[in-house]
Chain A
Amino acid sequence: AQTVTQSQPEMSVQEAETVTLSCTYDTSENNYYLFWYKQPPSRQMILVIRQEAYKQQNATENRFSVNFQKAAKSFSLKISDSQLGDTAMYFCAFMFSPFGTGANSKLTFGKGITLSVRP
């Protein structure tokens, strides 16, 4: 079974600063995907970024980038130029990817981290 750990329950950052959210996971699988989702006070879960485990290059999406360390099973999210709208709960999630045409859509989530951006 896979587990996802987010050890920091809360973080705070000044507007325009950079913040890094940590995530570690445990799995015996070799093929998988990792995600960061954002859940603002509206409770709508929004995809922030995704990383394929077979890719060595770290994913980036505008102000969001990840530091994926497969050997260490670490997957941190860096938010640059933090904005007030980044205030939300952030969830790290794991999805096993069966080799070939196997099917799996189960996301395993961490407990989440509450990020507050201060004006």
Chain B
Amino acid sequence: EDQVTQSPEALRLQEGESSSLNCSYTVSGLRGLFWYRQDPGKGPEFLFTLYSAGEEKEKERLKATLTKKESFLHITAPKPEDSATYLCAGHTQGGSEKLVFGKGTKLTVNP
């Protein structure tokens, strides 16, 4: 069964304190690994897509990386506005466009 697991469930950082979020996946024939940001009361906002092991993508203070079994979202020198829930999703094979989501990591950055 396709599964995506994120850790930790919640993370509190001080402003400027860098860290990483983990997303491990068992998705048959992974076609892509997605990262989203979700603010309270809003829908997920697309951040990155990673397609192959070794690939990296960056956006401001965020960098996403992918291995054959997991993905990391590195946050460098975070600011309070980076506080949100970060969701990881695997895109499965088989002709459908199904995304399998993890439960997310709730990040809080304190000033």
A and B co-occur in one complex? no
Binding site for B on A (CB under 8 A): none
